[in-house]
């Protein structure tokens, strides 16, 4: 798990931005539609990930990456909420809104779509209140992944 989080943070630094609450109890990783240029760092990150995961986990990761990018294929520019997390003791105190609202306001003003997926059905209602709609529900074994979009 540490490897995947490290990979995701590195990816976000290269082609997105990270929002952190002032008290460091919440974080949002936002990726943009900009493509990272081929570099030694990019190749090293992917090779490290590829050789550190089991083939089954790597296959599952590639499958969900394909699903993720299929929903964004029609958009030239977009933002993608790669991850949002709030510490348990800070949940229910508006930290998620602090991480979402400024970006969603900017995207609404600039007609920039935002995409995300969640496997937590409790989060679907939260995202719907923020203006997201469900594009697709993907069943994978015992889980349902909600692919959502904000316009």
For residue 73, the model assigns a pLDDT of 67
Q: Cα angle at 79 between 19 and 111, to 5 degrees?
A: 115
Task: Work out the end-to-end distance of the chain between its first and last CA atoms, rounded to an integer number of angstroms.
Answer: 32
Rounded distance between C-alpha atoms, residue 101 and residue 68, angstroms: 22
Q: Can you list the residues of the chain whose pLDDT is less than 50?
A: none
- Look at phi and psi of residue 92 and say left if phi exceeds 0, alpha if psi is from -120 to 50, else beta: left
Domains delineated in the chain: 2-150 (3.40.630.30)
Rg (CA), the chain: 16
Q: What is the pLDDT of residue 48?
A: 86
Q: What is the predicted pLDDT for the residue at 97?
A: 94
Structure pTM? 0.84
pLDDT tens-digit map of 102-135: 999 999 999 999 999 999 988 999 999 999 999 9
């Amino acid at each position: 798990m540490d490897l995947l989080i490290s990979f995701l943070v590195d990816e976000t630094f290269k082609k997105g931005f990270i929002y952190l609450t002032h008290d460091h109890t919440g974080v949002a990783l936002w990726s943009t539609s900009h493509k990272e240029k081929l570099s030694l760092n990019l190749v090293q990150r992917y090779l490290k990930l590829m050789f550190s995961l089991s083939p089954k986990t790597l296959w599952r990761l590639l499958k969900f990456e394909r699903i993720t990018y299929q929903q964004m294929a029609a958009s030239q520019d977009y933002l993608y909420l790669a991850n949002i997390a709030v510490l348990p003791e800070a949940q229910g105190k508006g930290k998620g809104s602090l991480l979402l609202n400024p970006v969603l306001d900017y995207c609404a003003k600039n007609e920039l779509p935002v995409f995300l997926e969640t496997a937590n059905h409790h989060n679907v209602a939260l995202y719907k209140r923020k203006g997201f709609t469900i594009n697709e529900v993907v069943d994978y074994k015992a889980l349902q992944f909600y692919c959502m979009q904000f316009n």
